[in-house]
Structure 1
Amino acid sequence: MYYNPYPIFVYPTYYPTLAIVNPPALHQPARYLAMPTNPINTNPFPAVNTNKLKISAKRVKRIMQQIQLLTDKIDGSEQFAHDLMDAAQKSNKSEVERLIISTGITMTFETNYTPDNIRIVFTDIECCKLSLVLSW
């Protein structure tokens, strides 16, 4: 026979369900907002002004023309491509820069190279940079 250690049987159906008039919300709204609301201007960002963006786009076109000079020289001259790759693989930075300048490039640039590629970052000091990565 089964022994029941509790003298009273408790069944959930014996007790009436408690009706809650205003159930508590699972998520309480924040009392303080992270950014104060401004009824005059609801946009937290400044007004859009595209002048600097247009200037940067024009200057990037000049950088791309400089890159075109370099890539045309590499594509058109087997000897130049060989000399550039050879100097980069030997970590001869001055020779790499001399070869790049010999293509007619007039703007500032930085070169980094690995056994797999050469990275040339062309910089327009006032606005922008453009990276060229050539693999070999």
Structure 2
Amino acid sequence: MMYYYHYPNPPHTQPPVYPSNHYYQPMHRQYPQVDPNVFKKSIKTYRLLMDQGSLLLDRLGDPGFDVKLMTAAQQGNNSEVDRLIKSIGLKVPVKTKYTPTGVTFELKAHTDPHAPPNCCTLRVELQWGS
């Protein structure tokens, strides 16, 4: 059954009706004044993480230490890997994850009482196999 419209234009071809222009004026949002204090604390805390990361890299590059770490990881000896990393004496907690091809150290700065909570993480990813 076919229906025929007797309108000048069928409803689906009618030009759309837009509201008047005042609805489309850009809205000027009011934002609060910026406060860089948390950002400054995060930057200061991240500098600490970078210093600690530098100490980590220095120790990882020591002859003998690298072999001990890689051997313990290859054997799946997590407690020895953790002991070796703790022996470096870093001031921030370190999470170590490793695979046959690489190792990741995640340094977090949540122990600093002056830092914003969970503000900063330094992730060091190194390849040690192919």
Q: TM-score, normalised by structure 2?
A: 0.68
Which residue of structure 2 lines up, in the alignment, with residue 122 of structure 1? 107
Long gaps (5+) in structure 1 = 1-22
> Runs of 4+ in structure 1 displaced over 6 angstroms?
none
Structure whose alpha-carbon radius of gyration is higher: 1
Long gaps (5+) in structure 2 = 1-13, 111-116
**Which amino acid counterpart does residue 124 of structure 2 have in structure 1?**
L
Q: TM-score, normalised by structure 1?
A: 0.66
- The one of the two structures with greater contact order (alpha-carbon pairs below 8 A, sep at least 6) is 2
Could you say what secondary structure the match of 1:78 adopts? coil
2:19 & 2:105 partners in 1: Cα distance? Answer: 52
Could you say what secondary structure the match of 2:64 adopts? helix
CA deviations over 1:51-82 (Å, ceiling 9, x no partner):
1111011001111111111111122x220011
**Which amino acid counterpart does residue 130 of structure 1 have in structure 2?**
L
1:92 & 1:99 partners in 2: Cα distance? Answer: 11
Which residue of structure 1 lines up, in the alignment, with residue 126 of structure 2? 134
Which residue of structure 1 lines up, in the alignment, with residue 45 of structure 2? 59
Q: Percent identity?
A: 36
Cα RMSD (Å) of the superposition? 2.6
Q: 1:90 aligns with which of 75, 83, 90?
A: 75
- Name the count of aligned residue pairs: 104
